Amino acid sequence: MKTQLNDLLEKPHQGQTDYTAKDFKPNVDVRWCAGCGAISVLSPSQRLMPELGIPKEKIAYISGIGCSGRFPYYMDTYGFHSIHGRALPIASGLKIARPDLSVWVVMGDGDNMSIGGNHFIHTCRRNVDLNVMMFNNEVYSLTKGQYSPTSHRGQITKSSPLGALDDPFNPAALALGAGATFVARGHDKDRTKLHDLLKRAYEHKGVSFVEIYTNCRIFNDGAFDLYTSVETRDNYTIELEHGKPLVFGKTRNKGIILDGYTPKVVNLDQGEYSINDLLIHNEKDSTLAFILANMTYSEELPRPMGVIQAVQRASYEERVVNQIEHEIVTKGEGDLQSLLTGESSWLV
């Protein structure tokens, strides 16, 4: 149905759209602690926006509450800093109402997996076309250091002085289980890769979930060092590339094979295995995606980074529009007067 609002929104963009990163920096101070991992997501985001070729006013950042929640203030687009755990339903409502917008969601691990857990699984299931960045620092930072649903068992925090008793969520596996069509993982120490991941997330139609390891210097410093620091990460992570064998290691001397359904590390130096024996990554293979996601907390296996799964399913807001259009095509556009009069009326 054509509305006056649509008329207003259809006005062509007046200025230019050849932006630079600077155009997305509002005139405010970034108030995260120096060295906070969140800062490392900001610059790739500001660099990415000009590449999208869409007018700035068509972009909206929606966040929940936590240190991560400040993100929209640092992007000169439309933004909404909402309430704890609820960024996804707000963003879903916005995207369903306004499919023309590019909607980005920023959440912490507590925000998304604890209080917002229900919304997370249902947003994944619906496949709303949202670009979701979850800043995982494995701790609650804004409330000053309690354990979170991604904290590991035994983690000492303010609220677990004797060690956390619960096991963590594996966010990637949870997202896959809930039906997310795009699931990826990156970290704050490699901004180029992060930029590429965010770009992939943008290009993916449907929900894109990007888990981003962001170091919290204050309450959980170094939590991801093994996986992110230049010295160790090659041995402890594996970069997934579609169509490429699963190789890792500082000298790219290790790889992953499948033993039944169980991934196993093999050494390529000893002649027993060659690169041709290795498992090939396929983003479209959901079974493989689960196997990869489940490598996350294994001590023996490298932690997968990059795009774990990217499959296509119609996005929710698109289905909403299609259903409306189908109804209008088959039944004709609704006539308000006959709606008011109803099916059985009588004349007095």
Partner 1 sequence: MAKTSEHLEEATIRFAGDSGDGMQLIGTQFSETSGVAGNEVNTFPDYPSEIRAPEGTLYGVSAFQVHFGTHHIYTPGDTIDVLVAMNAASVKVNLPTLKAGGMIIANIEGFDERNLKLAKYTTNPLDDGSLSGYEVHAIDFHKEIKAALGELDISSKLIGKTKNIFALGLTYWLFQRPLDATIAWINKKFKGKDDIILANVHALRAGWNYAQKNPDFKTQYVIDRSALSPGRYRNITGNEAIALGLVVAAKKASMPLFLGSYPITPATDILHAISGYKKYGVKHLQAEDEIAGICSAIGAAYGGSLAVTTTSGPGLSLKTEAMGLAVMTELPLIIVDVQRAGPSTGMPTKPEQGDLLMAMFGRHGEAPMPILAAASPADCFDITLEAARIALKYMTPVLILSDGYIGQSSEPWKAPTVESLPEIKAYFATDPTDFSPYKRDEKTLRRQWAIPGFEGMEHRIGGLEKEDISGNVSQDPANHEKMVHLRQEKVDRVAQDIPEAVVEGEQEGDLLMLSWGSTYGAAKTAYERMRASGHILSFVHLRYMNPFPRNLDDILNRFERIALPELNSGQLQFLLQAKYLKRIIGIHKVQGKPFKSRELEEKLVNLLTEKEILV
Ligand X SMILES: Cc1ncc(C[n+]2csc(CCOP(=O)(O)OP(=O)(O)O)c2C)c(N)n1
Measured from the CB atom, the residue of 33 and 311 that comes closer to ligand SF4 is 33
Q: If you ran DSSP here, which 8-state letter would residue 203 be given?
A: H
**CA 257 to each of CA 200, 226, 277, 301, 325: distance values in angstroms, whole numbers, following the listed order:** 27, 23, 7, 11, 48
36 binds ligand SF4 (CB under 6 A): yes
Say if CB 87 and CB 111 are below 8 A apart: yes
Residues 64-123 touching ligand SF4, rule: CB under 6 A, are 67
Phi, then psi, of 48 in degrees rounded to 5? -70, -40
Residues 105-124 touching ligand X, rule: CB under 6 A, are 108-111
Measured from the CB atom, the residue of 59 and 105 that comes closer to ligand SF4 is 105
Amino acid at position 331, single letter? K
137 binds ligand SF4 (CB under 6 A): yes
User: What's the min distance (Å) between Cβ of 143 and ligand SF4?
Assistant: 10
Say if CB 78 and CB 107 are below 8 A apart: no
147 binds ligand SF4 (CB under 6 A): no
Residues contacting 201, CB < 8 A, separation 6+: 131, 132, 133, 182, 184, 208, 210
148: partner contacted, choices partner 1, ligand X, ligand SF4, none (Cβ within 5-8 A by kind): ligand X
13 binds partner 1 (CB under 8 A): yes
303: partner contacted, choices partner 1, ligand SF4, ligand X, none (Cβ within 5-8 A by kind): none
**CA 335 to each of CA 7, 332, 343: distance values in angstroms, whole numbers, following the listed order:** 21, 9, 13
User: What's the min distance (Å) between Cβ of 94 and ligand X?
Assistant: 20
Give CA–CA dist 323/101, Å, rounded: 20
174 binds ligand X (CB under 6 A): no
User: What's the min distance (Å) between Cβ of 221 and ligand SF4?
Assistant: 8
218 binds ligand SF4 (CB under 6 A): yes
User: What's the min distance (Å) between Cβ of 116 and ligand X?
Assistant: 8
Number of residues near ligand SF4 (by CB under 6 A): 11
Measured from the CB atom, the residue of 218 and 265 that comes closer to ligand SF4 is 218
Say if CB 139 and CB 216 are below 8 A apart: yes
110: partner contacted, choices ligand SF4, ligand X, partner 1, none (Cβ within 5-8 A by kind): ligand X
Our measurement of the distance from residue 181's CA atom to the centroid of its chain's CA atoms, rounded to an integer in Å, reads: 11
Give CA–CA dist 284/286, Å, rounded: 6
| Cα angle, residue 172 at apex, residues 98 and 180 outer, rounded to 5° | 35
334 binds partner 1 (CB under 8 A): yes
Measured from the CB atom, the residue of 86 and 205 that comes closer to partner 1 is 86
Give CA–CA dist 150/158, Å, rounded: 15
Terminus-to-terminus CA distance in the chain, angstroms?
33
Stretch that binds partner 1, among 5-13, 132-140, 160-168, 275-283 (CB under 8 A): 5-13
Q: If you ran DSSP here, which 8-state letter would residue 18 be given?
A: -
Give me the residues that bind partner 1 (CB under 8 A), please: 1, 3-5, 8-9, 11, 13-15, 55-60, 62-63, 65, 72-73, 76-83, 86, 88-98, 100-101, 118-119, 122, 320, 323-324, 327-328, 331-334, 336-337, 339-342, 344-348
